[in-house]
Amino acid sequence: STAHTFGASIVTDKGEILSDVRATYTTDKGGIIPSEAAEHHKKVKDSIIKKAIEESKISEKDISIISFSQSPGLPLSLAVGKNAAIELAKKLKIPLISVSHLVSHLEIGRLLTKAKNPVYILATGANTQIIALEGNKYRIFGEALTIGIGNALDKFGREIDLGFPSGPKIEELAKSGKYIELPYVVKGMDVEFSGIITKAIHLYKQKKASKEDLCFSLQETLFSMLTEVSERALAHTEKNELLLIGGVAANKRLIEMLEIMCKERNAKFYVVPIKYSGDNGVQIAWTGILQYKSNPEYYKNLKLDEIDIKPRQRIDEIEVTWI
Ligand code: AMP
Ligand code: MG
């Protein structure tokens, strides 16, 4: 379970997806209310886990490990999945694997695109980072300083009454908009979205720009900023693969901009299939398998009651043992 999504999935160690069941907390107006999101997760968890097992056509006793989303995100939401996973691991007497859901975005991207060792653009709701593997650690080359790209779009969407999540609706409205200038804020390798969103909200409230024009111009501006720092990361790392992952990877305009940039510098561009761009149980299951296989004895000996969520864990704190 992540901030907004509760999902369950059965995946084999060959990367075959046997089932994938999810439910996402949404609102008509306003953003995520943490206690409501957690209530949503509690309500759906049993039926989602049951359905995932049924759809997979295997029986519970054939499950050999369980993984859950340990980090980062809203604590109340993360805790629901952790508790459900611990309960099931105890019942089935099998190892429990803690997975960073950010790492899982990277790994589902690699599994489904066959990218080998790319520069990653992680564009999710709360997190926006340009990442590459260096030794056994992920290095963050640049990131959004205050709010992530998805949250930035959602924040603007909230002001114009689009509800959560706003990203897809902004993409739709942008189709009939034209360009107006907004601030462009790149600081070295980092990007800063919140001032731009404040400016866009201001223009809308003063009736100086239409929803459509603002949606279009926000996409053009925020995505250009991401494209600029991604290009610099490719140049710096001398890698020739770029992989876009996370919920905002569903956006066709962002894909198009990155595609053009990669073509111009002869780099291969990959994007996670849209079905797996947002949070899902498949990516957690698959990453858990990779982690487990890299050190089965460690995971077999873990004490279940000592495993906890890490709401603020950063991706560069994680030791990569499986690549
Ligand atoms: P994640 O946290 O990775 O599950 O991604 C969720 C975020 O992706 C939310 O902030 C959504 O608004 C955003 N999102 C989903 N689809 C789109 C889209 N087509 N364009 C832009 N943002 C999107
Ligand atoms: Mg996510």
Q: Is the CB of 148 under 6 A from ligand 1?
A: no
| Separation between Cα atoms, residue 125 and residue 121, nearest integer Å | 13
- DSSP string across 93-148: T--EEEEEHHHHHHHHHHHHH---SPEEEEE-SS-EEEEEEETTEEEEEEEBSSS-
Kindly tell me the burial class for residue 237, based on how many C-beta atoms sit within 10 Å of its own C-beta (0-12, 13-18, 19 or more).
middle
Q: Is the CB of 153 under 6 A from ligand 1?
A: yes
Q: Which ligand is nearest to the CA of 277?
A: 1
Ligand 1: which of 153, 170, 275 to mutate, judged by most atoms within 8 Å of the beta carbon? 153
Only one residue has tokens 């949606």, namely 215
Only one residue has tokens 């990007």, namely 191
- For 166, list phi and psi in degrees, rounded to 5: -95, -20
Specify the DSSP element, H or E, that contains 289: helix 281-294
Q: Is the CB of 77 under 6 A from ligand 1?
A: no
Would you write out the chain's pLDDT as a tens digit for each of its 323 residues? Answer: 999 999 999 999 999 999 999 999 999 988 999 999 999 999 999 999 999 999 999 999 999 999 999 999 999 999 999 999 999 999 999 999 999 999 999 999 999 999 999 999 999 999 999 999 999 999 999 999 999 999 999 999 999 999 999 999 999 999 999 999 999 999 999 999 999 999 999 999 999 999 999 999 999 999 999 999 999 999 999 999 999 999 999 999 999 999 999 999 999 999 999 999 999 999 999 999 999 999 999 999 999 999 999 999 999 999 999 99
Count of helix runs (H) and strand runs (E) in the chain: 10, 11
Residues, the chain, total?
Answer: 323
| Separation between Cα atoms, residue 123 and residue 229, nearest integer Å | 13
Ligand 1: which of 128, 248, 282, 284 to mutate, judged by most atoms within 8 Å of the beta carbon? 248
Nearest in space to 138 (alpha carbons), one of 276, 322, 323, 319: 319
Q: Is the CB of 247 under 6 A from ligand 1?
A: yes
Residue 214 tokens, joined: 């603002």
Task: Decide: 77 and 39 in contact? Cβ < 8 Å.
Answer: no
Rounded to 5°, the CA angle 285-289-295 comes to 145
Only one residue has tokens 């990203």, namely 167
pLDDT at 30: 87
pLDDT at 27: 94
